[in-house]
Amino acid sequence: MNFELPKIYPITDALLSKISHVEQVEKLIKGGASFIQLREKYASPQEFYKSAESALKLARARDVKIIINDRVDIALALKADGVHLGQDDLLPAEARKILGGKAIIGFSTHNIEQAVTAIRFPIDYLAIGPIFTTGTKENPDAVVGLEDLRKVREATGNFPLVAIGGINLENLREVYKAGADSAAIISSLISDTGKISENYKLFSSL
């Protein structure tokens, strides 16, 4: 593997944080983040390209890795570190052909069956969620829960595993205990704009 999965995997959201992706990246880096996903569900591809370009420029200067959500084209054009794909995005094998062997490819799954299928794909990590109820994702899949997270860990051996969805300071330890290598977090990290750096530090100290 050409990267180390961080224990806390921050994901940006311009709507929730009310600030740009580059501003979120700056605050996350200030808090110690070295691996960040840019997630943009509302802006046009053109706008996302522009904001990802600024975020990537800053991240490059600080030796921080940037993963682009959904958009293989934008990841390729900006030479981002990788892409995070969902069940309906380009298949990981197609993305791998486009982005090459060095790109980090993550893949979202929502149940044990999808997770077991995913470990045969050319991906670097798999994500499973929503573990808890989340208000961040539109039309989220059914809540997976800690028990099924445990089962996913068992069924996928030591495959790099990211848990996502409704993770906060209270439940983070349970998520690691159930077998997640990493916790991907949006709202409890970035929705209080003034506390993004502080929150990252707090989460990564647990």
**59 or 132: CB nearest ligand TZP:** 132
Q: Could you tell me how far CA 62 lies from the centroid of its own chain? A: 19
Is residue 86 part of the contact set for Mg ion (CB under 5 A)?
yes
Length in residues, the chain: 206
Contact characters 136-155, ligand TZP, x per CB under 6 A: xx--x---------------
**Is residue 130 at the binding interface for ligand TZP, with CB under 6 A as the rule?**
yes
Q: What are phi and psi of 106, to 5 degrees?
A: -110, 155
Q: Annotated catalytic residue: which of 137, 150, 195, 201?
A: 137
Instruction: Specify whether the CB–CB gap between 203 and 8 falls below 8 A.
Output: yes
Q: Of 17, 27, 71, 108, which is the active-site residue?
A: 108
* Angle, in degrees to the nearest 10, between helices 21-30 and 45-61: 30
Task: Give whole-number Cα distances, 29 to 74, 110, 138, 147, in Å.
Answer: 22, 29, 27, 33
134 binds ligand TZP (CB under 6 A): yes
Per DSSP, what are the bridge partners of residue 10? 185
Q: What x/- string results for residues 78 through 117 when contact with ligand TZP is judged by CB under 6 A?
A: ----------------------------------------
Query: Binding ligand TZP by CB under 6 A: which of 78, 166, 196, 203?
Result: 166
Q: Contact residues for Mg ion (CB under 5 A)?
A: 70, 86, 89
Q: Which residues are catalytic?
A: 39, 108, 137
